[in-house]
């Protein structure tokens, strides 16, 4: 039973490493970014609400995010563990997740933080070609990360849950480092 969250700026390799980790621990994966992209392409109510924030590199407001995650938790999708990827991204989301998980008796085991410097991130993001991977949007997403999501690093450090990981090098090298800290 593993309950993990994946922190790190856009382009740090969370997506790539998530695939490996979920297979390794045999746990489901929840990426709020993926759920939102699906909602946008299907033109749902949530998708319509979220689209303008996403295309400008801003965070989608907490109530929308908490309702889509809450729905999954209610369904029992994560009763046997989960890798949360790109969530939480604000202190409010983190506190809310803590309360939900503790009340279910499945608190977090660790917060993995993938560390990559901004220059390398810009380079990686610009070569990826997703709709929100334009240089101005990329810079805005990095700014949003530093301003709003970085405080979570301290939040989890205080709880003794933070596991920083060097995110540079090949995907295999990074995954070896992750396995070392997760056991
Ligand atoms: P990602 O795929 O995680 O990089 O997310 C892509 C975009 O979706 C972000 O730039 C945000 O606009 C939005 N998003 C994804 N997850 C969250 C979240 N937990 N809170 C707020 N916005 C989010």
User: Nearest-CA neighbor of 122 among 10, 6, 8?
Assistant: 10
Phi, then psi, of 107 in degrees rounded to 5: -70, 165
Give the residue carrying structure tokens 């045999």.
Answer: 26
**CATH for 155:** 3.40.50.300
pLDDT tens-digit series, residues 99-109: 999 999 999 99
Please identify every residue annotated as catalytic: 14, 89, 128, 130, 141
pLDDT number for residue 15: 92
Q: Which atom of ligand 1 is nearest to the CA of 87?
A: 19
Ligand 1 centroid, distance to 110 Cα (angstroms): 21
Q: Which atom of ligand 1 is nearest to the CA of 57?
A: 10
* 82: CB partners within 8 A, 6+ apart: 3, 4, 27, 28, 29, 30
CB 116 within 8 A of CB 12: yes
At 63, the pLDDT band (50, 70, 90 cuts) reads: very high
pLDDT number for residue 115: 96
pLDDT tens-digit series, residues 113-170: 999 999 999 899 888 878 888 899 999 999 999 999 999 999 999 999 999 999 999 9
87 lines ligand 1 (CB under 6 A): yes
141 lines ligand 1 (CB under 6 A): yes
What's the total number of domains in the chain? 1
Q: Which of 29, 33, 152 has the most ligand 1 atoms within 8 A of CB, as the residue to mutate?
A: 33
User: How far is residue 132's CA from residue 135's CA, in Å, rounded to a whole number?
Assistant: 9
Q: What percent of the chain has pLDDT over 70?
A: 100
Q: Which domain holds residue 25?
A: 2-182
pTM: 0.93
């Amino acid at each position: 039973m593993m309950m993990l969250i994946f922190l790190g700026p856009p382009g740090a390799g969370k997506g790539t490493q998530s695939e490996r980790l979920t297979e390794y621990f045999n746990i489901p994966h929840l990426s709020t970014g993926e759920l939102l992209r699906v909602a946008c392409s299907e033109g749902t109510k949530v998708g319509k609400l979220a689209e303008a924030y996403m295309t400008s590199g801003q965070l989608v407001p907490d109530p929308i995010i908490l309702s889509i995650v809450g729905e999954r938790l209610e369904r029992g999708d994560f009763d046997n563990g989960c890798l949360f990827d790109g969530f939480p991204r604000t202190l409010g989301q983190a506190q809310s997740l803590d309360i939900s998980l503790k009340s279910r008796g499945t608190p977090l085991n660790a917060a993995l933080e993938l560390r990559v410097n901004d220059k390398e991130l810009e380079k990686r993001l610009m070569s990826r070609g997703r709709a929100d991977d334009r240089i101005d949007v990329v810079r805005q997403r990095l700014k949003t990360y530093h301003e709003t999501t970085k405080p979570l690093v301290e939040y989890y450090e205080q709880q003794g849950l933070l596991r920083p990981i060097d995110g540079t090098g090949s995907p295999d090298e990074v995954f070896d480092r992750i396995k070392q800290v997760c056991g």
